[in-house]
C-alpha cells in the first residue's frame, strides 16, 4: 500500500536558519504530493503541493520538488522565522485520488 515517511523530529532551529524536512514515499502509479502545516491548537492547512514529477510547489517561502527518481518531496525554506513553528505533514493522494495518506509529522520549533 501507499506510505509516507518523514524525517524524525522534533527539529529546533534558530531564526534565519535553513530548514529541510525530508519526506519519501511509496506508492503505485503517480501520486500527488502535499505538505500540510498545523499551527498550535488548529487543524491542518495546505502549505504547498505538486501533482507531477519535477513540479515545484512553493508558498510563504517554503519549497518542495516532486522527485520521482528518488521518490522524495523534501520541504525547504531558506530563512525560518519564529512564526514558522508548527507541525509539518507530508502527504500523498492515491492514484485514484480519493484518500490522503500522511507521514508522521515533524515538529519544528524556531527560537529567536
| Residue closer to another protein (CB basis): 6 or 86 | 6
Residues forming the site for another protein (CB under 8 A):
6, 32, 34, 36, 41-46, 49, 51, 89, 93, 97-105
CB of 9 to another protein, least distance (A): 11
CB of 81 to another protein, least distance (A): 23
| Residue closer to another protein (CB basis): 15 or 42 | 42
CB of 111 to another protein, least distance (A): 22
CB of 5 to another protein, least distance (A): 10
Output the DSSP codes for the chain: --EEEE--S-EEEETT--EEE-EEEE-SS--EEEEEEE-TTS-EEEEEEE-STT-EEEETTEEEE-BTTTTB--EEESS--GGG-EEEEEEEE-TTS--EEE---EEEEEE-
| Residue closer to another protein (CB basis): 17 or 100 | 100
Supply 25's cell numbers: 514515499
Amino acid at each position: 500500500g501507499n506510505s509516507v515517511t518523514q524525517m524524525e523530529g522534533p527539529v529546533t532551529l534558530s531564526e534565519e536558519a535553513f530548514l529541510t524536512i525530508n519526506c519519501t514515499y511509496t506508492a503505485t502509479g503517480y501520486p500527488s504530493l502535499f505538505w500540510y502545516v498545523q499551527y498550535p491548537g488548529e487543524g491542518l492547512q495546505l502549505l504547498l503541493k505538486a501533482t507531477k514529477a519535477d513540479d515545484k510547489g512553493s508558498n510563504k517561502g517554503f519549497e518542495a520538488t516532486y522527485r520521482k527518481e528518488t521518490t522524495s518531496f523534501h520541504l525547504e525554506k531558506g530563512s525560518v522565522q519564529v512564526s514558522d513553528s508548527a507541525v509539518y505533514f507530508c502527504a500523498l493522494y492515491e492514484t485514484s485520488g480519493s484518500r490522503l495518506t500522511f507521514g508522521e509529522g515533524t515538529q519544528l520549533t524556531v527560537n529567536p
